[in-house]
Structure 1
Amino acid sequence: MTLAENRIGLIAGSGPFPILFAKKAAARGYEVFAAAFHHETDPALAGHVAAMEVLHLGQVGRLTRFFRKHGVQSAVMVGAIQKPRAASEIRPDIKALSLLAAVRKDTHDDRLLRAFARFLEKEGIIVRSSTFLLPELLARPGCWTRKKPSKKERSDILLGWQKAKAIGALDIGQCVVVENGSVLAVEAIDGTDATIKRGGGLGRGNAVVVKVCKPIQDFRFDVPAVGARTIEIMHECGGRVLIVEAGRSLVFDREEMVKLADQYGISIEALADMQEQSQKKQG
């Protein structure tokens, strides 16, 4: 690799993914330069990268200057960025304001992220898929646990898949909680964990959690992810089945997830082509 090819920018959100990415990139010979965010990024990331700049949301010019300073010509967006709880958390600079003006009132997550990616590319920074160094984290198809979903749960899985794809197409969320043929919760701004808690609280201890990709998923960002914490929350809230989309979802702590699920009597399964099955059933 040339010097430029040897360097990768990391736009780091919350969760374990940024550190996992940084470790894998370093093992593959990359120098990682991380743009982190206050109240989002794990400070421990600094120990796994060549340099890290901590920013407020909206400091787009500072982010691009940091990457240019270190000769970064490609970057990944990794980890979740929660929508700000207070106006003080956002400090938009001139570049950020011009970016927002370009998208006008269309502030759906995917469209904003695509606009941000286009902006970076105009600045000479190519945005790559967040999974390009970690394909092993993508969900493998099949049932991973001793307990398999029952026939009744299969019906809820299909309903949940249909509804999750529908809200994904509207860029609302990626997760739905279903029980006994009723939709208990739909993911919105509060995120997946809160959706599971809401749905589980309304159910009777047999909730099915379905988390899928949006119909037109941009793998440069916002790839659905689950981990051991997902199973812990399901156990606390009466979740009995977790469904993810095979090959299109990130899985953290897979061994720990399966161990916990077997301990709690929870099924985990990664599925594909549920839309096709849904259409056949409707036909």
Structure 2
Amino acid sequence: MSREAGSATEARRIGLIAGNGRFPVIFADNARRLGYQVYAVAHVGETEPELADHVDRIHWIKIGQLNKLVQALKSEGVTEAVMLGGVKKTHVFTTVRPDFRTLAMAARLAIWRDDDILREFAAELEREGIMIRESTFGLEGVLVEEGVLSSRKPTDKEWEDIRYGWEVARDIGRLDIGQCVVVKDRVVVAVEAVEGTDGAIRRGGELAAGGAVVVKRSKPQQDLRFDLPAVGPRTIEVMRSVKANVLALEAGRSVLLDRAEMLQAANRAGIAIVGLRGDVHR
């Protein structure tokens, strides 16, 4: 679906390589408000269909169709793009149908770690004249700020778990395992793996039997062009369902999706949300 606004030669253009979740939609709305025309490449089975109503044009591809992705962006005259929204890691094992270009890119990788794959992907696009911008581009007012964001503050006991989980999350990030840990009484009850953040929260919350603290932060080596931590109302709903108490996020490097709705849901559920930077000393 197309929502062209004005002459294509007059407006700035930005490409959007879209994965799953609300992040691509929120970015598209913000970018359009900033005066950009947004041309999206979306992934069948991952990207929300509603994205089509928030961009100037959308191209649908299957996971692994790198050449089709490149040609779609080039056909729109795009020279800058962002990558937003994840791809379920379980789909990598079941739905990827790589084209020859993807296979050639894979052959250049010595290790199949997330960051290595994404950096090589970005390098492939840059060789075609398409620069990948940081995921924080155009997200003023959406990034998590430092401090308590909810109406309820964490208790002293919860702060102990936040501090502990904050260090553990840094360590699992350094190992390129995931971005989220679930903690109770200074015991790690879940670490995010291929199931994603919601799956880790559900699993950890059930094991904790109430009172869990969820910590989500970017990896120490995080390339801000890729996989910026993001949470939204769905995160709060999952936490509420397992009676988790606290959500701790990295300020300036995490995104609140549908912020007002998310904070309202957290306040109704009595869930504390905090934004943190660097070392946590409280």
TM over 0.5: yes
**Residue 124 in 1 paired to residue 124 in 2?**
no
SS at match of 2:31: helix
Q: 1:266 aligns with which of 264, 267, 271?
A: 271
Give the Cα–Cα distance (whole angstroms) in 2 for the partners of residues 267 and 182 of structure 1.
19
**Residue 6 in 1 paired to residue 28 in 2?**
no
- The offset of 1:11, in angstroms, is 0.2
Structure 1 gap ranges (5+): 279-283
SS at match of 1:58: coil
> Once the two structures are superposed, what CA deviation does each residue of 1:120-162 show, in whole Å capped at 9, x if it has no partner?
1011100011221112211011112222111111111111011
> Once the two structures are superposed, what CA deviation does each residue of 1:170-192 show, in whole Å capped at 9, x if it has no partner?
11000000001211000011100
**Residue 52 in 1 paired to residue 75 in 2?**
no
Q: 1:182 aligns with which of 181, 187, 196?
A: 187
**Residue 92 in 1 paired to residue 101 in 2?**
no
Structure 2 gap ranges (5+): 1-7
One-letter code aligned to 2:213: V
Q: 1:70 aligns with which of 68, 72, 76?
A: 76
Residue pairs, 1:1-283, within 5 angstroms = 3=9, 6-85=12-91, 89-104=95-110, 106-274=111-279, 277=281
One-letter code aligned to 1:112: I
More helix by share: 1
TM-score by length of 2: 0.93
Q: Percent identity?
A: 47
SS at match of 1:52: strand
C-alpha contact 1:203 1:238 (8 A) present in aligned 2: no
Give the Cα–Cα distance (whole angstroms) in 2 for the partners of residues 161 and 24 of structure 1.
30
Give the Cα–Cα distance (whole angstroms) in 1 for the partners of residues 77 and 55 of structure 2.
15
> Once the two structures are superposed, what CA deviation does each residue of 1:85-126 show, in whole Å capped at 9, x if it has no partner?
37562121111011100113x111111111101111011100
Give the Cα–Cα distance (whole angstroms) in 2 for the partners of residues 229 and 130 of structure 1.
21
